[in-house]
Structure 1
Amino acid sequence: MGEQKRKAASKAEFIFGKKNYKWLFIGLAFIVIGFILMAGGGSEDPNVFDPSIFSKRRIRLAPTLVLIGFGIQVYAILLNPDKGSKK
């Protein structure tokens, strides 16, 4: 009887559930994609201006994806994994 209690006590309990981790990875993917889209656009010669740094992809799309990713991360942290599950 004591061994069962010890096994139950030693069993690791995670703070987040499966749903939380799924949403965390989705949010992380949005953030990574946003930063990848922001990268580049520089010029090899510092005396030459490259207007591609002001493209809509780098100014609007990429930061929007990063902010959406951070919003998904907050949602994933606040999500109650026990709600709606059948126990």
Structure 2
Amino acid sequence: MAQQPFKPTAPVKNTTAAAKPAYKATETKPVSFIFDKGNYRLLIISIAVVALGFILMSGTTDIYSNTKIVIAPLVVLGGFALGFFAIFKKPSVKVD
């Protein structure tokens, strides 16, 4: 049993007399960025800390050293934590 296509009984009329204007003039506000200078500085520092952790992990001698197994992964995790903090930190509010 196939369904019959629906046909409207009367055409829909659009009235243009009651139409509102397409746009309304609004006040322009100065552009405010999501991050401020401090956020970017912390993000760059976190990238450097993660890179330092990977440098500590690299090398071919003494695979089971305390630096490569314990300290370097903690430094990398600390760098990622600092990066998350840099992203979630709210910028300081400047009162004009």
Report the residue type matching 1:33 in the other structure. L
**2:37: which partner in 1?**
18
Count of aligned positions: 69
1:61 aligns with 2:71: yes
Residues 37-73 of structure 1: CA distance to partner in whole angstroms, max 9, x if unpaired?
101126xxxxxxxxx1010110011100000000000
Distance 2:81 2:66 in 1: 21
Correspondence for 2:51 among 10, 15, 32:
32
**2:85: which partner in 1?**
75
Question: Quick check: which has more Rg, 1 or 2?
Answer: 2
Compare the two structures and name the one with the higher helix fraction: 1
Distance 1:64 1:38 in 2: 11
Give me the CA root mean square deviation: 2.1
Distance 1:59 1:74 in 2: 23
Q: Which runs of 5+ in 2 are unaligned?
A: 1-27
Q: Which runs of 5+ in 1 are unaligned?
A: 43-51
Instruction: Kindly indicate whether structure 1 or structure 2 has the higher relative contact order, using CA contacts under 8 Å at least 6 residues apart.
Output: 1
